[in-house]
Structure 1
Amino acid sequence: MIAVAFVGGAGFAGYKTQDRWMPYVFPGKPPVKVDGDHEEGDGPAHGNADHAGRDHDHGHGDRVKLSTQAQANLNLDVDAIAPEAYWRSVLIPGMVVDRPGESDRGVTSRIAGLVTDIKARPGDTVKAGDPLFSIQLISEFIQSAQTELAKAAKEHEFAATKRDRTSLLVKGGTSAGADLVEAENQVKRTAGQVQIFRRQLQVFGLTAEQTDKVERGEVVTDVTVTAPARPKRPGESALVGKAVDPLFEVQELKVQLGEQVQAGQTLCLLANHQQLFVEGRAFKSEATVLARAAESKVPVRADFADEAVGDWPAQEALTIHHLANQVDPATRTFAFYLPLENQSRTFEKDGKTFFVWRYRPGQRVRLRVPVEKLGDEVFVLPAGAVVREGAETFVFRQNGDYFERKAVRVLYEDRSEVVIANDGSVAAGSFVVRNQAAAINRALKAAAGGGGGHEGHDHAGHSHEH
Structure 2
Amino acid sequence: MNSRIPKIPMKYVWPVTMIVVIAGAAVTRERWWPTLNSWVQSTVADNRAPAGLDEHGEGEDAHDPHAGYDHAGHDEATSLELSDQARRNLGLTGDGVAEIQLTTFSKSITVPAVVVEQPGRTRIQVATPMTGVITNIHAAAGEAVEPNSLLFEIRLTHEDLVRSQTEFVTTLGELDIENREIARLQDVATSGGVARKTLLERQYARDKLKSLLVVQQEALRLHGLSETQVQQIAQTRRLLRELKLYSPNADGTTSKELKLSRAFEQTAIRPVSMESAVADPQLILRELLVHRGEAVDAGEPLGTLVNYAELYVEGMAFEQDIAQLSNASRNDWKVTALFDEADGKAKEVPGLDIAYLDTEIDRTSRTLKFFVRLPNELTHENKQQNDVRFVNWRYRPGQRLQLRVPVEQWEDQIVLPIDAVAREGAEYFVFQENGDHFDRLPVHVKYRDQFSVVVANDGQLFPGDVVAMKSAHQMQMALKNMAGGGVDPHAGHNH
Question: Is the structural similarity TM-score above 0.5?
Answer: yes
2:415–2:453 CA contact under 8 A, matched in 1: yes
CA positional deviation for 1:175: 8.5
Q: For residues 159 and 447 of structure 1, do their structure 2 counterparts lie closer, same or farther at Cα, with a shift above 3 Å needed?
A: farther
- Residue in structure 1 matched with residue 142 of structure 2 by the alignment: 123
Taking the aligned partners of 1:290 and 1:280, their CA distance within structure 2 comes to 11
Correspondent of 1:149 among 168, 192, 195: 168
- C-alpha contact (below 8 Å) 1:64/1:447 kept by paired residues: no
Aligned ranges for residues 66-465 of structure 1 at < 5 Å? 66-76=82-92, 77-162=96-181, 186-187=205-206, 189-206=208-225, 211=230, 214-215=233-234, 216-229=236-249, 230=251, 246-306=281-341, 315-345=349-379, 347=381, 349=383, 350=385, 351-373=387-409, 375-449=410-484
Q: Which amino acid aligns with 2:363?
A: P
Is the 1:136–1:223 Cα contact (8 Å) retained in structure 2?
yes
What is the CA distance between 1:170 and its match in structure 2?
8.0
Alpha-carbon deviations, 1:93-146, whole Å to 9, x = none?
A: 112211122211100111122222111112323233321111222333232222
Specify the alignment match of 2:55 in structure 1.
none
Counterpart-to-counterpart distance in 2, 1:181 and 1:423: 104
The AA in structure 1 aligned to 2:355 is H
Following superposition, the deviation at residue 186 of structure 1 comes to: 4.8
- Identify the residue that residue 61 of structure 1 maps to in structure 2: 77
Distance in 1 (CA, whole Å) between partners of 2:434 and 2:201 is 102
TM-score by length of 1: 0.72
**Of the two structures, which has the highest relative contact order with CA contacts closer than 8 Å and spacing of 6 or more?**
1
Q: Distance in 1 between matches of 2:149 and 2:210?
A: 31
Which residue identity lines up with residue 140 of structure 2 in the other structure?
R
- Check the 8 A contact 2:382/2:391 in 1, yes or no: no
Residue 420 of structure 1 and its aligned partner are, at CA, apart by 1.4
CA distance in 2, matches of 1:166, 1:423: 108
Unaligned stretches of 5+ residues in structure 1: 1-57, 234-242, 452-466
Q: Give the CA RMSD over aligned residues.
A: 3.5
Residue 54 (structure 1) aligns with: none
Local SS of the residue matching 1:317: strand
Give the CA deviation at 1:178.
Answer: 8.4
Provide structure 2 residue ranges, at least 5 long, that are not aligned to the other structure. 1-73, 255-277, 487-495
Task: Report the residue type matching 1:61 in the other structure.
Answer: A
Name which of structure 1's ranges 354-363 and 301-310 shifts more when overlaid on structure 2: 301-310
Matched residue of 2:101: which SS?
coil
Pair 406,262 (structure 1): closer, same or farther in 2 beyond 3 Å: same
Shift in alpha-carbon separation, 1:310–1:219, aligned structure 2, 3 A = farther
Determine the C-alpha separation between the residues in 1 that align with 2:303 and 2:183.
Answer: 51
Whole-angstrom distance in 2 between the partners of 1:321 and 1:270: 24
- Measure how far apart 1:353 and its partner are: 4.8
Question: What amino acid is aligned across from residue 171 of structure 2 in structure 1?
Answer: A
Mapped partners of 2:379, 2:186: distance in 1 = 66
Provide Cα deviations, 1:319-370, integer angstroms capped at 9, x if missing partner. 3222112222332212111222222246362434543322221222322222
Distance of 1:168 and 1:95 partners within structure 2: 81
SS in 2 for 1:372: strand
For each residue in 1:280-311, what CA deviation from the matched residue of structure 2 results, as whole angstroms up to 9, or x when unmatched? 11122222222222222122222233488999
Which residue pairs with 1:455 in the alignment?
none
Q: 1:305·1:363 contact (CA, 8 Å) conserved in 2?
A: no
Contact 2:116–2:398 (8 Å) recurs in 1: yes
Number of residue pairs matched? Answer: 383
- Answer yes or no: is the 8 Å Cα contact 2:124–2:252 preserved in 1: no
Using the alignment, how far apart are the partners of 2:233 and 2:177 within structure 1? 17
Given that 2:335 and 2:350 are in contact with CA atoms closer than 8 Å, whether structure 1 keeps it comes out as no
Is contact 2:448-2:454 (8 Å) kept? yes
**How many angstroms apart in 1 are the aligned matches of 2:225 and 2:346?**
46
For 2:361, give the aligned amino acid: V
Counterparts of 1:163 and 1:357 in 2: how far apart (Å)? 67
Query: Is the Cα contact below 8 Å between 2:282 and 2:309 reproduced in 1?
Result: no
- Cα shift at 1:150: 1.3
Helix, strand or coil at the partner of 1:321: strand
Structure-2 separation of matches of 1:78 and 1:286: 36
* Percent of matched pairs sharing the same residue: 34
Matched residue type, 2:372: L
Q: Secondary structure at the match of 2:351?
A: coil
Q: String of CA shifts for 1:28-47, please: whole Å, max 9, x gaps.
A: xxxxxxxxxxxxxxxxxxxx
Q: Aligned partners of 2:129, 2:469: CA distance in 1, in Å?
A: 62
Pairwise CA distance, 1:371 = 1.6
Distance 2:237 2:296 in 1: 27
Shift of 1:393: 0.2
Q: Contact conserved, 1:95 with 1:279, CA < 8 A, in 2?
A: yes
Cα separation, 1, equivalents of 2:321 and 2:466: 38
Structure 2: distance between partners of 1:319 and 1:154: 62
